[in-house]
Structure 1
């Protein structure tokens, strides 16, 4: 395994300027992204009060059903004693969801290790599972490679209800069928059967999307001591009760300052990532298992679709007595994270960076500080097969990202066309057209009016000529299938659907090739947090 770092154009303006240390953008964040900020933040955390003992016990109770390793127990003890955490998170996707879920976890673990050394104090890696999210269409599928092309594999069970991932029960039989199809696409390797059995076992032991996600992530990271917590875990909601109350007491002000900050962000040319409004309560209410966004109207917290109408006093009562019926949104989730745990730094992707940029004033309104925001590692995995193809066609990773593979493939397809056959078909077409014209002239002279039937016959012949041409093209492509498949393999593996690999495939595709040590071996590589793209040659 070898690490290569390549410099690629950053298409996201906000991310690009964040890495460059833009003074203009820095005003939207608490700390600049540099070494001394970590020590400043660590000092700040020492002077804050967190109930880390209860937090640690809550996380322990969540993780116990999945198995507590020695390193997890050790990190839980450190957390109970007040050690700061590095946090990153993601929705509960099938087979961990896209690779970037794993890349976030890797980023969190490596940053925690790095800061443990630099600060001389234990820093804990923690993964925040967004199990409260209810957009199941975002998490019910993954992609594989089938016949050298990306193929979408979907868990087809549907629900019309907007239930959370953590409460949506999985159809185990249907999910097993989906997993079976996925592993068939992977093909047989020395690792396939063991991985398949472990995934099927995880399905058997799971009840919800979040259960299955957690078991998959836990199997990959348990030996690294990665702590995990589900945002929708009922005891965690109880722990958050007093913080929900603070959000409700300051609800209108939070909405106002976020709207103003987002407007300023837009004026600076960074867009409106969350489309904030002043009447958004930035909280969801869970009713009959479904999750509904609340608005503030005429002193009420409402959702007309669900016929929810609560006074401020009533929603405060919910926060006190049944906080599991409340849920955060994109604005309040970071605030809740800050109130519940000593966060040294938050690791996120470009989208998360954008919405955090709207929140500094909301943090300050609640007498909080925004933690350091660290963009996650961007990683592309290169298999040996793809490595050989890159060498054969003298291509670099940058070439693939820049579309050169498509250019080479198109050029090759042009070169193998049977132009002589096409020319002869064209001549046949012209000859038939000519004779039809003569036939029409003759019929018209005889006052036999069959123009429509003649045109229909001509159309039939045109279709047959087109069909013949397409069949010739198919045979030509079939004759050169190996080379075309090689071009497709390069594109599909590295830049599937014109997107980064980490946004499309899940880690099991690479675990079946490389083996179960993939994660531990990745964690041994000398990654650096920078705006470079990390290419790992397996």
Structure 2
């Protein structure tokens, strides 16, 4: 297992690079940097304020009913009852059949981070939590997954929280997917996973919970669903303040403006009211305030101030936090000390610190998740034969060959010298032109511009010819990048866990787990053993 710097991956934003290097200008937007020593201090802070343990354990136990919990899961559920237990959390949409492979990286990082913290100290217990984004309503973002060059789609009438969607129709989708897989143990295991999750559940929430459970139960991971009336009841004071005072709009806008002034890109923009209203049938729509009334967009539902507060107290399950308030909801109901997410996720959390402070909730440690490139031993051997560095796997084949030409081509090396000689000739002509008239001086300048432009065209034509001469090596590099799914972006965002060659799924997951570096910020390159 090797690493390259995040900068050399050419993928991470300036904000994320500045964050991991702890630049001074970024420090106002987070509480503590997630060095290993920060977790105990964060746990001390969190537990001074946390009061919802009994409710959390009761609801989580209820949500996990029906699953055959592993010994580690049972232990972690019991640990959550203890006053010195905290959590580390990651979250994800309910992507069909997990979606891209980075789904595994963020979950396994949470698990490994908890394990290492539990091993290194005994003051606090750390429990890994997966937050299921059951209330998202963007079905088009989660209704597919990529399998090789094919995209498997689930076509369905939809609306409202995706977690409440019926799994009806998924059998046909997965049967068509399984039909194209070659016979073997891996196909049998994938079939068993699908059968035990999607084919054995009534809703997408149930299916995803079971799938995540089957994949990670032996690591002790616990899954939580925020679409829960009892848990939302804990948010009534916050939701009421959000509806009546629109405070988060002010706090988040202030932080977003400060980030923007520093030249960073803004990830999310707050609404005046950062809540949706879940109505029947299949509806999750924004709440807006206009003309002294509260309206639910795209419906006929409207409330006076007194009416909407009454509904909030009677039916808190109908109110759903958007991207701004969801992190606050999570940190209110969980004894959480750290959140692990991708670059885009962490970037929008930077806009939220003042809102957390305003609502009196400790701001968690923000951990940039591991990124990983998986290669086989055979692909590594190809890379070595092509004399490619690990950093080259994050570049285009053309740029790699062009750099090689610039460094090693004798013809290309001659060009700067010839250009200097040409410029020297025109320098001499300019000295002569100073002794003659203006028209000759202008002619010299015009010829200088023309000849140097022509020289640049020759230079480009020469490099093009050299590229053509090196077309075979160019093609071999391009083929390797395509094998790795790195030719147009990052492998982790396009490859699915079923795309990789392995004999046993659990062995494959363990190999990824072993490669995870929970407290480091590098891009991991994981070379798989042949017997996985």
Please report the TM-score for the alignment, with normalisation by the length of structure 2.
0.79
Alpha carbons of 1:511 and 1:362: their partners in 2 closer, same or farther (altered >3 Å)? farther
Task: Answer yes or no: is the 8 Å Cα contact 1:95–1:507 preserved in 2.
Answer: no
Could you report, residue by residue, the CA deviation over 1:284-331 in whole angstroms, capped at 9, with x for unpaired residues?
Answer: 111112111222334433233223322333232232222221111111
Could you report, residue by residue, the CA deviation over 1:5-35 in whole angstroms, capped at 9, with x for unpaired residues?
Answer: 1124253111111101012111011212333
The reply to whether residue 265 of structure 1 matches residue 265 of structure 2 is no
Task: After TM superposition, give the deviation of residue 485 of structure 1 in Å.
Answer: 9.2
Q: How far, CA to CA, are the matches of 1:358 and 1:201 in structure 2? A: 40
Query: Which of residues 132, 135, 139 in structure 2 aligns to 1:136?
Result: 139
Q: How far, CA to CA, are the matches of 2:209 and 2:475 in structure 1? A: 36
Query: Which of residues 291, 295, 309 in structure 1 aligns to 2:284?
Result: 291
Query: Which of residues 148, 156, 168 in structure 1 aligns to 2:165?
Result: 168
The reply to whether residue 218 of structure 1 matches residue 213 of structure 2 is yes
The aligned counterpart of 1:384 is 377
Could you report, residue by residue, the CA deviation over 1:82-123 in whole angstroms, capped at 9, with x for unpaired residues?
Answer: 310001010011111111111110111111122223442210
DSSP 3-state at the match of 2:212: helix
Task: Answer yes or no: is the 8 Å Cα contact 1:29–1:360 preserved in 2.
Answer: yes
The reply to whether residue 117 of structure 1 matches residue 119 of structure 2 is yes
The aligned counterpart of 1:84 is 86
Q: How far, CA to CA, are the matches of 2:381 and 2:194 in structure 1? A: 31
Alpha carbons of 1:379 and 1:513: their partners in 2 closer, same or farther (altered >3 Å)? farther
User: Which residues of 2 match residues 299-448 of structure 1 at below 5 A?
Assistant: 299-404=292-397
Task: After TM superposition, give the deviation of residue 492 of structure 1 in Å.
Answer: 3.1
DSSP 3-state at the match of 1:196: helix
DSSP 3-state at the match of 1:285: strand
DSSP 3-state at the match of 2:391: helix
The aligned counterpart of 2:46 is 45
Q: How far, CA to CA, are the matches of 1:43 and 1:223 in structure 2? A: 29
Task: After TM superposition, give the deviation of residue 405 of structure 1 in Å.
Answer: 6.9
The aligned counterpart of 2:70 is 69
Alpha carbons of 1:8 and 1:204: their partners in 2 closer, same or farther (altered >3 Å)? same
Alpha carbons of 1:62 and 1:178: their partners in 2 closer, same or farther (altered >3 Å)? farther
DSSP 3-state at the match of 1:302: strand
Provide the aligned C-alpha RMSD in A. 2.8
Task: After TM superposition, give the deviation of residue 144 of structure 1 in Å.
Answer: 2.2
The aligned counterpart of 2:152 is 153
The aligned counterpart of 1:447 is none
Task: Answer yes or no: is the 8 Å Cα contact 2:240–2:309 preserved in 1.
Answer: yes
DSSP 3-state at the match of 2:331: helix
DSSP 3-state at the match of 2:130: strand
The reply to whether residue 509 of structure 1 matches residue 499 of structure 2 is yes
Task: Answer yes or no: is the 8 Å Cα contact 1:53–1:81 preserved in 2.
Answer: no
Alpha carbons of 1:535 and 1:514: their partners in 2 closer, same or farther (altered >3 Å)? farther
Task: After TM superposition, give the deviation of residue 72 of structure 1 in Å.
Answer: 0.6
The reply to whether residue 255 of structure 1 matches residue 249 of structure 2 is yes
Q: How far, CA to CA, are the matches of 1:255 and 1:138 in structure 2? A: 26
The aligned counterpart of 1:56 is 57
Task: Answer yes or no: is the 8 Å Cα contact 2:101–2:493 preserved in 1.
Answer: yes
The aligned counterpart of 1:193 is 188
The aligned counterpart of 2:28 is 27
Q: How far, CA to CA, are the matches of 2:479 and 2:316 in structure 1? A: 50
The aligned counterpart of 1:282 is 274
Q: How far, CA to CA, are the matches of 1:533 and 1:507 in structure 2? A: 18
Task: After TM superposition, give the deviation of residue 512 of structure 1 in Å.
Answer: 4.4
Q: How far, CA to CA, are the matches of 1:300 and 1:366 in structure 2? A: 25
Task: After TM superposition, give the deviation of residue 178 of structure 1 in Å.
Answer: 4.3
Could you report, residue by residue, the CA deviation over 1:208-258 in whole angstroms, capped at 9, with x for unpaired residues?
Answer: 3333322222111000110101222xxx33222131332222441121111
Task: Answer yes or no: is the 8 Å Cα contact 1:85–1:343 preserved in 2.
Answer: yes
Query: Which of residues 190, 207, 230 in structure 2 aligns to 1:238?
Result: 230
Task: After TM superposition, give the deviation of residue 496 of structure 1 in Å.
Answer: 4.4
Task: After TM superposition, give the deviation of residue 514 of structure 1 in Å.
Answer: 5.5
The aligned counterpart of 1:518 is 508
Q: How far, CA to CA, are the matches of 2:236 and 2:91 in structure 1? A: 20
Task: After TM superposition, give the deviation of residue 189 of structure 1 in Å.
Answer: 4.4
Query: Any gaps of 5 or more consecutive residues in structure 2?
Result: 405-471
Moved more, 217-226 or 48-57: 48-57
The aligned counterpart of 1:177 is 175
Q: Count the aligned residue pairs.
A: 454
Task: Answer yes or no: is the 8 Å Cα contact 1:195–1:512 preserved in 2.
Answer: no
Q: How far, CA to CA, are the matches of 1:225 and 1:27 in structure 2? A: 35
Task: After TM superposition, give the deviation of residue 207 of structure 1 in Å.
Answer: 2.2
Q: How far, CA to CA, are the matches of 2:184 and 2:479 in structure 1? A: 18
The aligned counterpart of 2:410 is none
DSSP 3-state at the match of 1:331: coil
Query: Any gaps of 5 or more consecutive residues in structure 1?
Result: 412-481
Could you report, residue by residue, the CA deviation over 1:32-70 in whole angstroms, capped at 9, with x for unpaired residues?
Answer: 233342222111123223221221221122122232111
Q: How far, CA to CA, are the matches of 1:54 and 1:271 in structure 2? A: 38
The aligned counterpart of 2:416 is none
The aligned counterpart of 2:96 is 94
